[in-house]
Amino acid sequence: AHALVIYRPWALLPFLEKPRTPSQAENNFTVKIVIFQFFTNFSSLIYIPGLGMDVPDSPQGCHPSGCITDLFIQMAVIMVLKQTISNIMEYLKQKSPKKRSMMLGEEEEAEDPCKRQWLHNYELNEVNVFSLFNEYLEIVIQYSFTTIFVAAFPLAPLLALINNVIEIHMDAIKMMRLRRRMVPRKAKDIGIWLQVLEAIGILAVIGNGLVIAITSDFIPVQVYKYMYSPCARENHTSMDCSTGYINNSLSVFHIRDFEPHTKVLPEFNGIQLKNCRYRDYRNADDYTYTVQFWHIFAARLAFLILFEHVALCVKAIAAWYIPDVPQKVKNLILKEKHSNLQNELRWVMP
């Protein structure tokens, strides 16, 4: 418990809550660090699909091709550069073991293989309570990047797989050659990390639903096809139903409505400009939202609710159908317990 405070000052927070057991203090600390790392790593990614949309009278906004392009670029940078640099820095931080000069009287003791192995282990980098914690945290953050925004960057699972294959070998070198041996400790499972992964899975469903419904043009295109396209109005089945979508998604702004201090170009290539177009669904008279905007808003909300319920139901069915511990393994464990109990009774009762 005291080691947490020594290595990280903010680890004192869980102990101010006065947990009853060390495991409870460790769980509280894990949850707080995961939440802190989540907002630190995902603040910009959440901003792009959530608040990066075009806001009236505000300079912020996404690329004309949509917010999903900005999200794709940032995810590509994170999954490629961030992971590569993190692996390199993590490996370079490990110091090469230095040869320890023998003290007087240790020459004979060093001939013992066990003693020699102990001395060699002592010369390696020291391990602490965060050695394994950081490995868990790194994988959890990577899992979050891979699942929450996979709809915007489908290559994330592939890049994560390649990174993990490389990192397995790097961690093996780090743990076997550069660090001291960890003290083994019995554990039933991975503890609080399992609940953290389950929470991330739920957030992934919500995040991907928001990316598809809000960031992408999937919902506006579908609403246009079935309600405002030539196919819906005139029953033209021979033409593409998405024809005219770009023109339909642009609203009209009259140049005369610019503020007095705003400088505008009255003409372009000899053509008198009277209005300009921008991406939104607003009336040309009073610039209020059109009926189509509310149709798209309702469709996005309905899609988000339907997507989340279907995905969570599939997740629940998969969790029920594929148990954490297979029945065969449970039977083997029970058989082993039964055998051990028989052996104990055999010694007690001749």
Length of the chain as a residue count? 350
Q: How far is residue 202's CA from residue 168's CA, in Å, rounded to a whole number? A: 27
What pLDDT does residue 23 have? 80
What pLDDT does residue 4 have? 46
Say if residue 37 is exposed, middle or buried (CB neighbours under 10 Å; 0-12, 13-18, 19+): middle
- Buried b or exposed e, range 260-271, using 16+ CB within 10 angstroms: eeeeeeeeeeee
| Domain ranges within the chain, ordered by starting residue | 28-214, 249-288
What pLDDT does residue 306 have? 92
CA angle 328-329-333, nearest 5°?
120
The 3-class SS string of 31-50 reads HHHHHHHHHHHHHHHHHHHH
Element housing 267 (H / E): strand 267-268
The phi-psi region of residue 270 (left if phi > 0; otherwise alpha if psi is between -120 and 50; otherwise beta) is: left
Question: Residues 223-262: pLDDT tens digits?
Answer: 988 888 878 776 666 677 888 888 888 888 887 777 777 6
Q: How far is residue 15's CA from residue 9's CA, in Å, rounded to a whole number? A: 11
Question: Residues 144-198: pLDDT tens digits?
Answer: 988 888 888 888 889 889 988 988 888 888 888 888 887 777 777 788 898 999 8
Query: Taking each helix axis from N to C terminus, what angle separates 156-173 and 130-148, rounded to the nearest 10 degrees?
Result: 170
Q: Kindly tell me the sign of the dihedral angle through the C-alpha atoms of 24, 3, 88, 119.
A: negative
The answer to whether 125 touches 179, Cβ cutoff 8 Å, is yes
Q: In angstroms, how far is CA 164 from the centroid of its own chain?
A: 15
Listed as ranges, residues in the chain with pLDDT below 70 are 1-17, 48-66, 94-112, 234-238, 262-270, 348-350
